[in-house]
Amino acid sequence: MGNREDLLAGARRCLEEKGYLRTTVRDIATASRVSMAAIGYHFGSREALLNQVLFAAIDEWSEAVGGLAGEGETAEERFADMWDRKVRNFGELRWLWIANVEAFVHAQSSPELLAALAAGQRAARPHVASLLRGVPESEVAPADARSLGSVQIALMTGVMVQTLTDPEQAPTGRELVAGLRGLAELLEDRSAARTPPGSGPADEWHS
């Protein structure tokens, strides 16, 4: 391998062992057996190198798992199984998801990284919506991308953080299904319980 490939491999090892925020230029150079100056020459900065390695690892994960599609006879069983697989994956690739969280924190003071993360998030919405719908991404309606895609990403981020924080108490797929059903019921109850015209406080004030 050349210096560029050595740096990519070394930065990957550093991400796995030390994380995004704690990895230094010296760490990468030592792991790569390449001079620190080579990082600037090939990538411009430590941040640019780590970003490239992190995004490549995410793409690699995405292609390998194929969205972690679940198995089962019903849609509910497949959805629950999909989440059980994701929770296991969060534990197996703990380094990758912690690096993701650290990159998000760092992005708040790095406009370039924040823009890259935002672009990835926008692209992920229609992709995950297509997986849920079971249709090609080109057939996903913009409204589905915004609704289904956003909710699924929110679930993924939240469940990931819960799993990394307290693995023994990570929610199961069935618990997530039950929670989503409970939220849907709450929304239906709130809608049905709207105050009929003429019986609200404003009407009483005017009477």
Domains annotated for the chain, with CATH where assigned, are: 1-53 (1.10.10.60), 66-192 (no CATH)
Using an 8 Å Cβ cutoff, are 159 and 83 in contact?
yes
User: pLDDT (tens digit, 9 = 90+) per residue, 16-62?
Assistant: 999 999 999 999 999 999 999 999 999 999 999 999 999 999 888 87
| 103-113 pLDDT per residue, tens | 999 999 999 99
pLDDT digits (tens, 9 = 90+) for 139-151: 999 999 999 999 9
How many CA within 13 A on the CB side of residue 203? 6
pTM: 0.81
Asked whether the predicted pLDDT for residue 206 surpasses 50, the reply is no
Indicate if the pLDDT at residue 204 is higher than 70: no
At 171 the pLDDT is 96
